[in-house]
Structure 1
Amino acid sequence: MVCFLSCSNPYGESVGTPIVDDPRAAPLLEMAFADPEEVSWKAKLKNVVQMKQGYRVDPGSAPKAIEWGSTKFPLPDIISNQQVLAVCDRFRLLVEHFEPNVHQFIPVDVKIAGHAGPVATYYWFVVCRRIDSVDPDSTTFKWELDYTGQDGFWSDYELDGARLIFSDAKAAGHHVWMDPHVLTLNSPLCSEEFGRAALAGNFSGLNVTPRETV
C-alpha cells in the first residue's frame, strides 16, 4: 500500500500560517535549488514551489519564519504554507529513522501573535526523492503529454470516477517520495510501513491517506 501525507486542520476552523520576516513577494516561488544541473525543466517553472519538487534546495533561500495564526488553538505538530509541510522535531526524527540522510529539514522559526519571539523551531520538510510510482496499466487517469511530447503527467480532468493506482513494485524499498508525474498531489507519498508509524505517533495536523496499489 502507498499513502498520501498531507497537513490537516485538527481544530475545525481555518488558521492561517503566513510566512513572516521575508521581504520577497512570494518566498516559496523564489527559492534556489541546491544542484540546478540535476533539476528537470518542469521544476524550474515560475509557478512551482521548489520545496515540493523532490529535489534539495539551497537552505539559505528558504523562508526563516512562519506564524501560527491563532492564540486560541495550540500549535500542532504539522503545519503548512502552500502545502509545504513544516514539521516538529519528533516527526523529523521519524523520517530520519526510516531514511537517514536522504531528505532535507530546514529550520524555520514558528511565531505566534502576541509573543515577543519564536515559540518553537520547526523544519521545512523537503522530500529529496522522486519515484515514478504509478501503475500505468491499472490507472484510469489520462496520460497528458507536455509540450515536448516526451514526458507528461497523470490527469483526472473531466474524467468522472478516474482511479490513480500506484505500483507496489516501483515503490518497494522506499518510504517517502514525490512522484514527478503526480505533482498535482502537492504532498509526499509514503510506504504503508511509514504511514503506520506516523499514525502511531499521533502527530496533530497530519493526514495519512491510503492510496490504491497493485
Structure 2
Amino acid sequence: MSRTSVLDAPATTALRMDEVVLTYPDGDGRITAVDHVSCVIDRGRSLAVTGPSGSGKSSLLAVAATLTRPDSGHVWLSTRAGEVDLAEVGASRAAELRRAEIGIVFQQSNLVESLTAREQLEAMAWLGGRPSRARRTEVRERADELLERVGLGGMAGRSVGALSGGQRQRVAVARALVNRPSLLLADEPTSALDTESGATVIDLLLRTAREFDVALMLVTHDEAVARRCETRVRLVDGAVSAE
C-alpha cells in the first residue's frame, strides 16, 4: 500500500493492516503464522479476530501490538503525531508507541500483586519518565475516573490480591486506557473467567471502544462475542477465510 492511499483513507481510521505476512523458523524452513492478512479498524469501532486454535489470531494481534515485527506488509497506526507504519519502527520506538498509543489486555490480567488498583494505572502512566507533582495529581485523577468507569471506583485503594478475577481484568482494561491510546488490543480477555465475569468484561470492552473513541481489536474463539463486534476477520491457517 502506498503512503498516499493511507492518507486518503477516512479520518476515523485508527489501524490499517495491509498484506501482513509473519513467519517463524521451523526446522530447516519456516512456518507461516499470518498469511497476507489485511484489515481496517476505525476509531470507536470493534473488530473480532476469530478462527480455530493455531490459526494465527494471537500472532496477528502481536503484530498490531508491535510485539512481533512482520516479514512483510504494512501496519499503519493513526497516532496523535500522525500516521506511523508499525512494521517499520525499531524496538525503542515500538516500546514508546505501546506506552502512549496502544493499550493491551491479555488473557491474564498481569497485574503487579504489591500495588493497589489505582497504583496499577499510575505505574503505567509513569513509565518512561519521572512525573512532576502536577503530573502525579493529573494521573491520580485520571486513574480514579477510569476505575469509576469500569465499576471499581470504591476499590481504587484496594490491593489487587483482594480482587476477583473479573475485577482484576476490569482493572487491566482501565490500565490499558490510562494513556489515552488510539488502539485497544484484547487477546482472549475472558478465557480465564467464568461466564458472568467474562460477559461483564466483554460489555466493558465494547462500551469502552465507543465511549473513548478507541479502535478495538478483540481476539476471541467465542462466536457469540464475535457477533457483537461491528466487523470480523476469520483466520484459518494464518489466512483470511472466505466463510
With the shorter chain as reference, the TM-score category is: under 0.3
More helix by share: 2
**TM-score normalized by structure 1?**
0.26
